[in-house]
């Protein structure tokens, strides 16, 4: 692997209020800046530019109206991408664990960065990273391209699904190559990073789409997968873009998103965040406020290219896959997930070679599964499933 690895001991600062507690820095975790070479075939889409919030509203409506059925109809050319991107990541490795050689790579969805997996508010209840460490797993979380502390290139022709799939693939290869192995210095001292024997992909929403795309394109490099907040054939379909309350990010919050260019979108208000991600009665108001405080951007290119993530079956993937959904997931099932999916079709058509295809529906949860009051039950179901399949 030609990928370059740079370690940094600088803490990634969360953009949160002083009322939010800071995380314990004694965990066996290290922050990484990963330089990843990417070659991908993106598309040039005939879509309007977004340079203000009036454009953002019109873009969302237009996208739902004429691109949702078949975005390929809007393709006017191919964009060959040959670039190296800097991706901000966090690697946590439990010391003295039999499962430390199993690496989970967690990919967040739209609206967040890697902090989605690692809440600073009541981490004992909400942090998936902490739960994975307690269960004995190593875990790598990262800011997707265009979010957090990762690079933020062109929103139309660069930050699209094909590039992001290749970034996830490169992360897997980097881990499996042994490049990460050895001693690393973290705030808690020296941690031992093993050579990872198995890789499990865990995604949320858009990140689950990228996970499934990797299973289709690179089935031999993944041993197991968990798709949260997304199931490909939900009967009622996912919520449309007009449901997100999108605004032009640099204008919506210039202090936070002034480094984003044309085509970068963000949810405008806390109510917009609630509308997609939260179900009343099953979350603490503190968590909704936190979600608003750490919210992140998406791009016009991501929205229009998302369908390509699910465009072909993962026919050669042979590991297990769990679809972990929230009962009241509006983003995926328009608010009621039980019974809306075709499990037989998933087994026979989408993942015909998989060792197992299962669905878990977490009661009393919305789209942001890590931010609802019963998140720990969700995590326990995921770890139990992986354990049943030798992971």
Please identify which residue in the block is written with the tokens 């995590």: 379
Q: CA–CA separation, 133 vs 131, rounded Å?
A: 5
For 55: left if phi > 0, alpha if psi spans -120 to 50, otherwise beta; the answer is: alpha
pLDDT score of 58: 86
| Cβ atoms within 10 Å of 17's Cβ, excluding its own | 9
pLDDT at 174: 94
Q: What is the CATH number of the domain that holds 182?
A: 3.40.50.1820
**What angle do helix axes 161-176 and 206-217 make, rounded to 10 degrees?**
70
Q: Note the pLDDT of residue 65.
A: 62
Q: Are 34 and 171 in contact (CB under 8 A)?
A: yes
C-alpha–C-alpha distance, residues 183 and 356, integer Å: 36
Looking at the DSSP assignment, which residues form a beta bridge with residue 279?
none
Query: Environment class of residue 206 by beta-carbon count within 10 Å: exposed (0-12), middle (13-18) or buried (19+)?
Result: buried
**Residue 234's pLDDT is what?**
60
Give a yes or no: residue 370 inside a domain: yes
Domain for residue 254, yes or no? no
In a domain, 115, yes or no: yes
Residue 309 lies in a domain: yes
Residue 298 lies in a domain: no
On whether residue 375 sits in a domain, the answer given is yes
Nearest to 68 by CA among 310, 329, 273, 344: 310
Q: Is residue 270 part of a domain?
A: no
Backbone Cα Rg of the chain: 19
Asked if residue 81 belongs to a domain, the reply is yes
The CA–CA distances, whole Å, from 298 to 113, 144, 363, 372 equal 10, 10, 28, 23
What is the extent of the structural domain holding 92? 4-48+72-238+305-388
- pLDDT tens, residue by residue, 208-241: 999 999 999 999 999 999 999 999 876 545 556 6
Q: State the total domains in the chain.
A: 1
pLDDT along the chain (391 residues), means of 10: 34 33 72 95 93 90 63 86 97 93 97 97 97 97 98 98 98 92 75 92 97 97 97 64 84 95 95 92 96 96 91 95 93 81 92 96 94 96 98 97
**Across-strand partners of 227?**
203, 323
Q: What would the two tokens of residue 85 be?
A: 């991107």
């Amino acid at each position: 692997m030609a990928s370059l690895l740079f370690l940094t001991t600088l803490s990634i600062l969360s953009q949160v209020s002083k009322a939010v507690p800071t995380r314990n820095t004694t965990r066996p975790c290290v922050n990484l800046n990963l330089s990843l070479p990417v070659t991908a075939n993106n598309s040039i889409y005939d879509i309007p530019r977004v340079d203000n919030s009036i454009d953002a509203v019109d873009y969302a409506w237009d996208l739902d109206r004429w691109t949702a059925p078949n975005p390929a109809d809007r393709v006017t050319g191919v964009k060959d991408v040959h670039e190296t991107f800097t991706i901000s990541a966090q690697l946590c490795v439990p010391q003295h664990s039999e499962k430390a050689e199993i690496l989970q790579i967690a990919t967040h969805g739209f609206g967040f960065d890697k902090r989605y997996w690692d809440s600073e508010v009541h981490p004992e209840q909400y942090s998936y990273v902490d739960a994975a460490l307690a269960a004995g797993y190593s875990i790598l979380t990262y800011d997707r391209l265009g979010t957090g502390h990762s690079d933020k290139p062109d929103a139309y022709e660069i930050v699209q699904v094909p590039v992001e799939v290749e970034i996830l693939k490169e992360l897997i290869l980097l881990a499996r190559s042994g490049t990460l192995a050895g001693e690393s210095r973290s705030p808690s001292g020296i941690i031992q990073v093993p050579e990872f024997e198995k890789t499990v992909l865990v995604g949320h929403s858009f990140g689950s789409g990228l996970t499934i795309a990797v299973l289709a394109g690179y089935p031999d490099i993944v041993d197991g997968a968990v798709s949260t907040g997304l199931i490909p054939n939900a009967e009622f379909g996912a919520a449309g873009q007009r449901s997100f309350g999108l605004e032009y990010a640099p204008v919506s919050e210039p202090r936070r998103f002034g480094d984003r260019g044309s085509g970068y979108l963000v949810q405008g208000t806390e109510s917009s965040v609630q509308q997609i991600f939260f179900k009343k009665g099953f979350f603490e108001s503190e968590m909704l406020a936190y979600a608003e405080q750490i919210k992140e951007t998406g791009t016009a290119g991501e929205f229009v290219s998302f369908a390509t993530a699910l465009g072909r079956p993962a026919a050669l993937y042979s590991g297990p896959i769990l679809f972990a959904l929230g009962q009241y997931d509006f983003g995926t099932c328009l608010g009621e997930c039980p019974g809306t999916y075709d499990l037989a079709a998933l087994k026979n058509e989408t993942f015909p070679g998989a060792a197992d295809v299962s669905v878990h529906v977490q009661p009393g949860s919305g789209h942001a599964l890590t931010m609802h009051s019963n998140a720990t039950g969700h995590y326990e179901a995921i770890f139990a499933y992986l354990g049943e399949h030798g992971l």
